[in-house]
Structure 1
Amino acid sequence: MIVAFSVAPSGGDAVESDGGMSEAVAAAVRVVRASGLPYETSSMFTSIEGEWDEVMAVVKAATDEVAARAPRVSLVLKADIRPGFTGQLTAKVDRVDEILR
């Protein structure tokens, strides 16, 4: 399964400047990186690939990191649930790139 998620602080000092928001988001990304699961981070989402329980545990831990820095948290989540398939984080993009060549 691939989960694309965005977690951000809302309210309080964490969002008063871009630096505050960036620090909270960096704390969430640090959790993703430490998980050992395949991931990609872009300007709007982090995508992570793995089994349901392990991916959701990472999303929860990342959200908890942001919640520790802000009184309110926004979480957007999109999942591609396809049992039996792995390596799709890059394979899906590779298939499109191949068509575009």
Structure 2
Amino acid sequence: MKNALVLFGFFFLTITFTSCQSEKEKKAELVTNRYIRFIDSVTQKTTADAAANWSTVEKYFEKQSTELNSTIDDLEDTAAFDAKIDSATAKYEAFRNSIQQQKGILKGANLSEK
């Protein structure tokens, strides 16, 4: 009987731990997908639209990135998420560089007009 109780206790702890881990993974998947959708939506805009609202875009990116990093840090194995996150972040960085270049060109044009 004692062996059965010990076995049941061990089984219960294993199930509980596994359940918690899968909840963390589900949350990480949701946050990762939200991050990727945000980057896709931003990069689909024209550079003129994005440049006009860039401070808002940048603030929201920082918020999404912070939430993503804190969620991913809770996981033991992040390999499944790293490739998706790195790809999306590279896409955002490239878009941000094009926006900054465009802003630089616009500033130069505005200075030459004066």
Normalising TM by the smaller chain, what interval?
A: 0.3 to 0.5
Q: Which has the higher helix share?
A: 2
Larger radius of gyration: 2
Tell which has more relative contact order, 1 or 2 (C-alpha 8 A, sep 6+). 1
